[in-house]
Chains A and B, each alone.
Chain A
Amino acid sequence: MTMPALNFKVFIFWVATLFLPATIWGQVSTEISQGHQLYNQNQFGEAAEIYEQAITHGMKNGHLYYNLGNTYFRMGNLPKAILNYVKAQNLLPRDEDVKANLEYAIRQTVDQLDGRKPHALESILFWVRDVNISEHRMALFWINLAFWIAMAVRLHLRTPATQSVRNILLAFLLLALVSTGFRWHQETHQSIGVILPQQIDVHSGWNTSTVALFQLHQGTLVSIVQEKENWYQIELSDEKKGWTLKSNIAAG
C-alpha cells in the first residue's frame, strides 16, 4: 500500500508530537550536596537548614523530603520527620526506603497510628497511592497521544482491529483522566497533619470549652477535614473526628 503525499505530511505532524518535551527539570544544586555532608558529619541542625532552604527556593523532590525527614528524625523531632516522610511518599510512592523509614518513625510514636483516612474512591482506583502526580500526568499524556494516533490510523484503516484498539485506548484514556483528576484533587485539597505536642485533647467543637473527646500524642498522622478560625477538624482512619488548635498540628 502506498501512502499518499498528503497522508505522509499528516504522519510527520504526528511523529513531531512524540518529541515534545513535557517538562524541563532543574539541576541539582550544590547546596543539597552540602546538606548531605553535614548530615554525615552529624551536624543535623545545619543540614536541616540547608534542605529547608532548598525547598524554600522552589525545589520539590521526594529524595530531598526523605533526607529532611531523616535529619529531623536524628534531631529527635519526630513530627517533622514523619511529615517530611509523608511528603516524600507523595512524590516517591513506591520507594522502599521512604516506606520503611515512615513506618519506623510511626512506630516510635506513642499512638503508633497512621490516621490518614483513605478516600472511598481509592478502593476502586487502587493504584492511585502508588503512582505520583507526575507519573499520572505522563501516563495521561502518552495514552492521550496513543488514542489520537489510533483515531488518525482509523481514518485510513477502518478494520475491526483498529476499532478494538481505539476502543481500548478510549477506555484507558477515560481511566487515566479520572485517575489523574482524583490524584490532583488529593494533592491540592486533601490535607494531612502531624500532632506536634506530646499530648493533645481533641475537642467536640472549635472551642476549649467543648468536651475533650479523646487524646492524641506527638507524631500521630491525621487527616485534616476542615478549618475554622484557629482550629482544625481532624479525622482518623477509624472514623474518630474532632477539633484541635492549629498550633497543635504541623499541616502538610
Chain B
Amino acid sequence: MSLRIMIKIGNSYSPRPQENFVFTARILLWLLVFFILAMGTAWSADIQVTASVDKQELTLEDSIRFSIVVEGTRSAPPPQLPPLDSFKVRSRGSSSSFQIINGDRSSSITYNFALLPKETGTFTIGPATVEIEGETYRTAPITLIVKEPSSEPDSSREVFAEMVVSNKKPYVQEQVTATLRIYHRVEVRNLKTNIQFQGFREEALKEPVQNTRIVNGIRYLSYEISTALFPLRAGKVEIPAGIIELDQVDRSRGGQRSNFFDPFGQGSIFNNFGRLKHNTLRTKSVTLDVQPLPQKNRPQDFSNLVGDFIISAQLSRAEVEVGDTTTLTVTVAGQGNIKDLSLPPPHWGNDLKVYEDQSEFRQTSGARSVSGEKVYTYALVPLQHGRLQVPAIPLNYFDPTKGDYVSLQTQAFSLTVSPGTGNSKLKVVESGSGPPDTSGSSIHKIGEDILPIHTGPEVFENQKITTGSGILYGVGLLLPVGLFLISSVLYKRQQRLKYDIAYSRSHGAYKQAQNKLSVLSPNGDSREIARELSLIVREYLGNILNFQGTAITSTEVEEKLRKGNFSMKEIQATQKLLKSHETLQYAPTTGTPPEELIQDARSLLDQLEKRS
C-alpha cells in the first residue's frame, strides 16, 4: 500500500537523496519478500514423497531397509507408516540434505526404518503418508516376498544359528541344557535374542562361550549361550523357534579385519571402521519328549528331586547340658533341581526342642549344568538329661542316569546331656534369628532363596469385600450419625421441657385434660359436671397459651385464642361451650345429659389440640 502511494505522488515532487535511499530500500525489501514467497510456493509445489526398499525378496532371517524420502522441503514431520503387522519395525534415524547445483536448489529428508519379517508370504506395504501444510502426500505401495530361510547351512552363509538340546527324552524335572549356537564367519555385534521356554523352569548357565566349529567343512566361530531347563510336565514339550537379531560388520569397504568378537557392541574404537548390516536369524523349534517319573520303587516321601545328590550332617557339640543348644547342620549338594528341594521334617521325638532356621541355598552355574548346595540348620535344645538320639535325616531322589530312585540318609548322632548347673532355663532361640553361633566364627551368606509358603490355617481368612459386607459397613458408618441425630433431638426436647415453661405446659396440656375428663362420672350432677368441665377446658386453654386459665371468663377467651392464632370457628365453639357450662352451673334444671356434656368438651379439646 505504501509503495503505491509513493509512486502516485512521485510525479508531483522531487524527493531528496535520503528519501531516495529509503524508497530504494523499500522496493528491494518488497522484491525480497516476493521472491521468498514465490520460492516457497514453487518448492511446496514440487514436494514429492517416495518410499523404497533395498530388496523385495527376503527370508525370515533377513531384514530390509525401508526408506521414505520427502523431496522439496527440509522441514517435514515424520511419516505415518501403514499397518505392518507382519513385520517388526525399528527406526534407523533420518537424514536431510540441501544442494545447489548450477543454481538449481533441491532439498530432501530421508526417514529410514528396518523391517524384520515375522512370517512368510507375500505382503504389500501400503502407502505411508506425510502431511505438509495441510496437504497429505502418499507413497506408492511396495510388494515384498518373505521366504523360509535355507534349511541347511551352506557355504554362502556367513551367519546362522541353531538350538541344540543335551537330551531330547528327559524325565520330568531332569535338567536339560539348551544351547543356542550362533555360527559366524564375520564379525558380529549388538546381539539380541528372543527365545521362549514355556513349560520349563529355566536357569541361566555360566557366561556364553566361544568355540571354533567345522560345519560342512567350513570353519566357523561359534558363540554359545546355554540355559538349564527343567521340564515341568510329561509329554511333548516344544521349544519354539528363537529369533536372534545382530549386526554384521562389513569390512569390504576398507578398514582392517579383526578377529575381535564383540556381540554386545562394547568393542574398541578400531572396530568402528566397518559398515554394520542388520541381520535376523531364526532357530528351528525343538520338541522334547518328556518322560514321567516311574511309579515303580517310588518312595513314599519322594519330593520330585531329580538329579544326583549327596547328603551329610554335622553336629556342633555332642555333649551339652539340659537347656543348652547344639546345632545340627544338614547339607544336601549335587546336580539337578536342588533349588526345589524341600526336606521333609524329621521325627525329633519328645526329648528335644528344635528350632529350624531358614535354609540357605547356593547355586553354582557351570557351562553345561546347574549344581548347588542347600544347607538346613536346626538348633537342638535337649529337655532331658541322659543319652539322646538325634535321628538320621533321609533323602530320596530320582537318578535319571540310573533310571531309578535312590534313598540316602545322614548318620544318626548320639547326644550326651548332663543335668546342668542348676540354671537350666531354656536358652531359647528366637524364630528367624538363626541358631546361636557356637563355633565363634562370623556367619557368611552363602546363598539366597525365597522364603517358604504360609501354611497356618488361621491366616487364610477371606479378605474379599462382598456386597453384603459392604452394605453392612455402610450401615455401620451411617448408624452413629443417625443415632447422634436422634439423641440430639431427644436431648434438646428434654432440655426445652426442663427450661421452657410455656413449652412444658403446652406439651402436657392435652394429656392432663384427657386424664381429668376420664375420671368424671357421667352419673353425677350435671351442674357439678358442667363446673368441672369448664375448669378443665379453661385449664387446658391456660396451659397451651401459657396464662392462668382458671380465672378466665368466656368473654376473655376470644382475645386469648385470637392471639394464639386459632380460627374464628374454634373461638366461637370454645366460647359457646364455656357459656353453656356457665349457664348450666346456675340453671334450676339440667336439660343436657352429663355424657353429652363430657363428649362436647372432649370434641372441643381434640379440635383445639389439632390446631395447637
In the bound complex, CA of A43 to CA of B193 (Å): 31
In the bound complex, CA of A4 to CA of B494 (Å): 10
Chain A neighbourhood of B451, CB < 8 A:
70, 97, 100-101
The residue that B469 contacts in the complex, of A10, A24, A67, with Cβ under 8 A, is A24
A161 at the interface (CB under 8 A from B): no
B171 at the interface (CB under 8 A from A): no
The residue that B84 contacts in the complex, of A91, A145, A199, A208, with Cβ under 8 A, is A208
The residue that B462 contacts in the complex, of A43, A58, A74, with Cβ under 8 A, is A58
Q: Considering only CB atoms and an 8 Å cut-off, how many residues of chain B contact the other chain?
A: 71
The residue that A141 contacts in the complex, of B83, B461, B473, with Cβ under 8 A, is B473
In the bound complex, CA of A200 to CA of B455 (Å): 37
Whether A36 contacts B455 by the Cβ 8 Å rule is yes
Whether B461 contacts A61 by the Cβ 8 Å rule is yes
| A41-B304, A61-B463, A210-B89 known; A17 vs B342 contact (CB < 8 Å) | no
Chain A's closest residue to B487 (CB) is: A10
B477 at the interface (CB under 8 A from A): yes
Whether B473 contacts A155 by the Cβ 8 Å rule is no
- A174 CB to closest chain B CB (Å) equals 14
Whether A22 contacts B85 by the Cβ 8 Å rule is no
What string of 1s and 0s marks CB contacts (under 8 Å) between A181-215 and chain B?
Answer: 00000000000000001110100000111111000
- A24 CB to closest chain B CB (Å) equals 7
Chain A neighbourhood of B83, CB < 8 A:
207-209
Whether B87 contacts A208 by the Cβ 8 Å rule is yes
Whether B491 contacts A44 by the Cβ 8 Å rule is no
Most buried by A among B462, B464, B490, B491: B462
In the bound complex, CA of A140 to CA of B460 (Å): 24
Whether B450 contacts A104 by the Cβ 8 Å rule is yes
B448 at the interface (CB under 8 A from A): yes
A73 at the interface (CB under 8 A from B): yes
B465 at the interface (CB under 8 A from A): yes
In the bound complex, CA of A103 to CA of B202 (Å): 19
Kindly specify which of A25-33, A117-125, A236-244 makes contact with the partner chain.
Answer: A25-33
Chain A neighbourhood of B491, CB < 8 A:
6-7, 10, 155-156
A21 at the interface (CB under 8 A from B): yes
B476 at the interface (CB under 8 A from A): yes
B355 at the interface (CB under 8 A from A): no
Chain A neighbourhood of B568, CB < 8 A:
none
Chain A neighbourhood of B201, CB < 8 A:
74-77
CB contact list, B172-211 vs A, under 8 A = 173, 192-197, 200-203
B233 at the interface (CB under 8 A from A): yes
- B81 CB to closest chain A CB (Å) equals 4
Whether B462 contacts A25 by the Cβ 8 Å rule is yes
Chain B neighbourhood of A152, CB < 8 A:
483-484, 487-488
Whether B453 contacts A20 by the Cβ 8 Å rule is no
In the bound complex, CA of A144 to CA of B480 (Å): 8
| A45-B232, A61-B462, A209-B82 known; A70 vs B473 contact (CB < 8 Å) | no
Whether A22 contacts B473 by the Cβ 8 Å rule is yes
Whether B342 contacts A198 by the Cβ 8 Å rule is no
B91 at the interface (CB under 8 A from A): yes
Chain A neighbourhood of B303, CB < 8 A:
40-42
| A148-B484, A198-B196 known; A64 vs B230 contact (CB < 8 Å) | no
Chain A's closest residue to B304 (CB) is: A42
| A22-B472, A28-B461, A36-B453 known; A141 vs B194 contact (CB < 8 Å) | no
| A23-B469, A32-B460, A209-B84 known; A67 vs B453 contact (CB < 8 Å) | yes
In the bound complex, CA of A17 to CA of B479 (Å): 8
Chain A neighbourhood of B88, CB < 8 A:
201, 208
A151 at the interface (CB under 8 A from B): yes
In the bound complex, CA of A14 to CA of B488 (Å): 13
B481 at the interface (CB under 8 A from A): yes
Chain B neighbourhood of A20, CB < 8 A:
472, 475-476, 479
Whether B481 contacts A148 by the Cβ 8 Å rule is yes
B576 at the interface (CB under 8 A from A): no
Whether A209 contacts B89 by the Cβ 8 Å rule is yes
B340 at the interface (CB under 8 A from A): yes
| A44-B232, A144-B477 known; A59 vs B464 contact (CB < 8 Å) | yes
Chain B neighbourhood of A63, CB < 8 A:
454, 459-460
| A61-B463, A148-B480 known; A73 vs B472 contact (CB < 8 Å) | no
CB contact list, B454-505 vs A, under 8 A = 454-455, 457-466, 468-469, 472-473, 475-477, 479-481, 483-484, 486-488, 490-491, 494
- A75 CB to closest chain B CB (Å) equals 6
A232 at the interface (CB under 8 A from B): no
Whether A91 contacts B463 by the Cβ 8 Å rule is yes
Chain B neighbourhood of A22, CB < 8 A:
469, 472-473, 476
A131 at the interface (CB under 8 A from B): no
Whether B483 contacts A148 by the Cβ 8 Å rule is yes
A60 at the interface (CB under 8 A from B): yes
Whether A10 contacts B490 by the Cβ 8 Å rule is yes
Chain A's closest residue to B202 (CB) is: A76
- A252 CB to closest chain B CB (Å) equals 16
Chain A neighbourhood of B85, CB < 8 A:
208
In the bound complex, CA of A88 to CA of B468 (Å): 24
B452 at the interface (CB under 8 A from A): yes
A219 at the interface (CB under 8 A from B): no
Chain A neighbourhood of B387, CB < 8 A:
none
Whether B464 contacts A145 by the Cβ 8 Å rule is no
- B31 CB to closest chain A CB (Å) equals 44
- B244 CB to closest chain A CB (Å) equals 11
A134 at the interface (CB under 8 A from B): yes
Chain A's closest residue to B173 (CB) is: A42
The residue that A105 contacts in the complex, of B450, B461, B487, B490, with Cβ under 8 A, is B450
- A241 CB to closest chain B CB (Å) equals 17
In the bound complex, CA of A148 to CA of B487 (Å): 11
- B234 CB to closest chain A CB (Å) equals 11
- B332 CB to closest chain A CB (Å) equals 13
What string of 1s and 0s marks CB contacts (under 8 Å) between B70-100 and chain A?
Answer: 0000000000111111011111000000000
Chain A's closest residue to B488 (CB) is: A155
Chain B neighbourhood of A126, CB < 8 A:
none
Chain B neighbourhood of A66, CB < 8 A:
453-454
CB contact list, B433-454 vs A, under 8 A = 448-454
| A36-B453, A70-B453, A208-B84 known; A62 vs B463 contact (CB < 8 Å) | yes
- A16 CB to closest chain B CB (Å) equals 9
In the bound complex, CA of A145 to CA of B302 (Å): 55
A sample of 23 cross-chain residue pairs with beta-carbon separation below 8 angstroms, ordered by A number, consists of: A6-B490, A23-B466, A23-B473, A39-B453, A40-B342, A41-B304, A60-B463, A64-B460, A66-B454, A70-B451, A75-B201, A76-B230, A134-B465, A140-B477, A141-B476, A141-B477, A152-B483, A156-B491, A197-B196, A198-B196, A199-B194, A208-B83, A208-B87
Report A's interface with B, CB cutoff 8 A.
Answer: 4, 6-7, 10, 13-14, 17, 20-29, 32-33, 36, 39-45, 58-64, 66-67, 70-71, 73-77, 91, 97, 100-101, 104-105, 132-134, 137, 140-141, 144-145, 147-149, 151-152, 155-156, 197-199, 201, 207-212
Q: A28-B457, A147-B480, A155-B491 are in contact. List 15 more A-B contacts (CB 8 A).
A: A13-B483, A20-B479, A21-B472, A25-B462, A44-B340, A59-B462, A59-B464, A61-B460, A76-B197, A76-B230, A100-B451, A152-B487, A198-B196, A208-B83, A210-B81
